[in-house]
Amino acid sequence: MSRKLFGTDGVRGRANTYPMTAEMALKLGAAAGRYFRRDGGSAHRVVIGKDTRLSGYMLENALTAGLTSTGMNVLLLGPVPTPAVGFLTRSMRADLGVMISASHNPHQDNGIKFFGPDGFKLSDEAEAEIEAMVEGEIQLAQAQNIGRAKRIEDGRGRYQEFVKTTFPAGLRLDGLKVVIDCANGAAYKAAPDVLWELGATVVPVGVSPNGTNINDRCGSTYTQTAAEAVVAHGADVGICLDGDADRVMILDETGHVADGDQIMALMAARWAEDGRLRGGALVATVMSNLGLERFLDARGIGLERTAVGDRYVVERMRSGGFNLGGEQSGHIVMTDYATTGDGLIAGLQFLAEMARTGKPASGLVRQFETVPQLLRNVRFAGTKAPLEQASVQAVIEANSARIAGKGRILIRKSGTEPLIRVMAECEDEAMLVEVVEEIVGAVEAAV
């Protein structure tokens, strides 16, 4: 069953423009409610979280209306990280979890992600069924069976207490000065509180959301602001989250950035040493650097590659029995602790390694030398398919032959934005630039 409405991470779009309209959110809520009430039973419930975007109010209300219209009881969490929704869906015995967020995107965008009763994101098949129900006639509940809505005041607190349990017992963060950049997003209260409660001296950045400044010159996709704060305050380390706090970037005391690949390398090596890396392998996407693959291979650790998207990483982890995976972009998935990427928990694991070893952040953030990698994005109109054009395919084939044996090329359509992503890796940087520029030129001409 195909999907047109859902992308790689739920439904995404510009707020108040299809599909991110109140009307569509109401339909999605009703369809999801009917999907999870197919057994006709009673006492069904759903938890809804959101980040700090202005449009979150509109979508939250519309989703609530749709869900209650099919008999679902709605529990409103307010602004909480995406991983908190996964955790609380299980903890509160809900049938469904919903997160309203467009992650690292600007405030004009928004999205709707669904979690099943096990706290994991829904499968492609489940999303396709819900999408089919949106396009059809949705059976509503009888008047006496309409659901209720209730605001949960301590959802964030429950999540914070859980997050602290993932930090090794007996360790504290006393003496560490930590810059935490919350991207003016969902973790703007939770992350600084957790770090302070574990003993750190906290320098908060991006903790004043106003509805339109989420991810604006801050967070995991704009680490310059946090880097400046690290240097200015003489901090030991910086932690940069994105708008819904499921991604993380780590900064050392000089402001140098470690991406998800470096963080995963550190954790994989440490977990393998401790005998806790299940399956003897790390799960990452095709975007992860060749340097990571070489680092793992030298230590006898396998690398399982998947399509881009943390959902596909998690699916492979679950099917293969692995417990560590993630993406170069900063999604770090540890199924021992969480059902999805959790930037705060990943940040705490890095801090635990600092506390355990006594090493500065700079001694931990560079686990391997990266193979030169170049990524360019080409924006296109949503109805066009430039990668299918013969002229583009010819250029891709020619450059793939040219770079063979020296590197690799990866070209794909983004699952969350109307972008063609052109990525290549090559030891020869001059060739790398030429290859990427030729392909980008061909795609731009086709667009």
Active site residues: 103
At 373 the three-state DSSP class reads: strand
Q: In the numeric block, which tokens belong to residue 192?
A: 């600084």
Radius of gyration over alpha carbons of the chain, in Å?
Answer: 22
Residue appearing with tokens 């991207």 = 183
**Gap between the Cα atoms of 311 and 171, Å rounded:** 32
Q: In the numeric block, which tokens belong to residue 329?
A: 């972009």
Strand pairing of 248-251 and 237-241? Answer: antiparallel
At 369 the three-state DSSP class reads: coil
Q: In the numeric block, which tokens belong to residue 54?
A: 């202005």
CA 367 to mean position of chain CA atoms: 22
Q: In the numeric block, which tokens belong to residue 380?
A: 């296109």
CA 96 to mean position of chain CA atoms: 19
CA 189 to mean position of chain CA atoms: 19
Beta-strand ranges (E) seen in 15-133 are: 45-50, 73-79, 96-100, 109-115
Q: In the numeric block, which tokens belong to residue 203?
A: 């320098």
Q: Report the chain's terminal Cα–Cα distance, integer Å.
A: 29
